[in-house]
């Protein structure tokens, strides 16, 4: 009989042993919700990264198109300078008295200069015209100062070499002479305070 007693299952032992019971549905649901949220977050981050990449690529392509001719345009500025020098070298009296072949030569140089400037403008290369403007170190390079009390200090009085820009960038700063000795230019905030 002792043998039969040993074979009989003990109800207390069964309660202590791990059972192959079904998992808690709330725990499973919670785990699936957490996994779903993690995947959703990962998906949103990936979509945001792709959108940023798309925008950056579009900006780089636009910049590439806008500034592709930068090196060539920079080389063409020397040609524009030489054509302008050629025209400036002709005295006003000689230009007025020109006839025949000399007049045709002058007109040909003038047409060439206009065509060159038009070609540069078609590629968004523009001449900077700073004379009379406030000196801006982003667009101008000061070569010397000119004493002049009739205009505010820091006004561009003379342009030694024309400046050029391409799009929003400076291709070559204008080399200028700047006034000194005139009244100081008031800062915009200070001017507003004085008006109030």
Q: Which CATH class is domain 126-185?
A: mainly beta
User: The pTM is what?
Assistant: 0.61
DSSP collapsed to 3 states, 108-125: HHHHHHHHHHHHHHHCCE
Q: Over the stretch 35-72, which tens digit does the pLDDT of each residue have?
A: 999 999 999 999 999 999 999 999 999 888 878 888 88
Lowest-pLDDT range of 12-16, 23-27, 124-128, 163-167: 12-16
Q: What is the largest CA-CA distance in the chain?
A: 145
Tens of pLDDT, residue by residue over 83-110, are: 999 999 999 999 889 899 999 999 999 9
């Amino acid at each position: 009989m002792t043998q039969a007693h040993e074979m009989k299952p003990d109800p207390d032992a069964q309660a202590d042993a791990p059972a192959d019971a079904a998992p808690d549905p709330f725990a499973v649901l919670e785990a699936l919700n957490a996994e779903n949220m993690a995947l959703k977050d990962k998906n949103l981050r990936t979509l945001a990264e792709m959108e940023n990449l798309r925008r950056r690529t579009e900006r780089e392509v636009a910049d590439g198109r806008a500034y592709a001719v930068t090196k060539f345009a920079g080389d063409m500025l020397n040609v524009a300078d030489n054509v302008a020098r050629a025209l400036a070298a002709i005295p006003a009296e000689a230009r007025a008295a020109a006839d025949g072949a000399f007049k045709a030569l002058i007109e040909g140089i003038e047409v060439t200069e206009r065509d060159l400037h038009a070609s540069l403008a078609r590629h968004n290369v523009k001449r900077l015209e700073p004379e009379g403007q406030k000196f801006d170190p982003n667009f101008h390079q000061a070569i010397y100062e000119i004493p002049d009390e009739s205009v505010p200090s820091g006004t561009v009085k003379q342009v030694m070499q024309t400046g050029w820009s391409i799009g929003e960038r400076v291709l070559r700063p204008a080399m200028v002479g700047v006034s000194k000795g005139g009244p100081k230019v008031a800062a915009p905030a200070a001017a507003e305070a004085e008006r109030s």
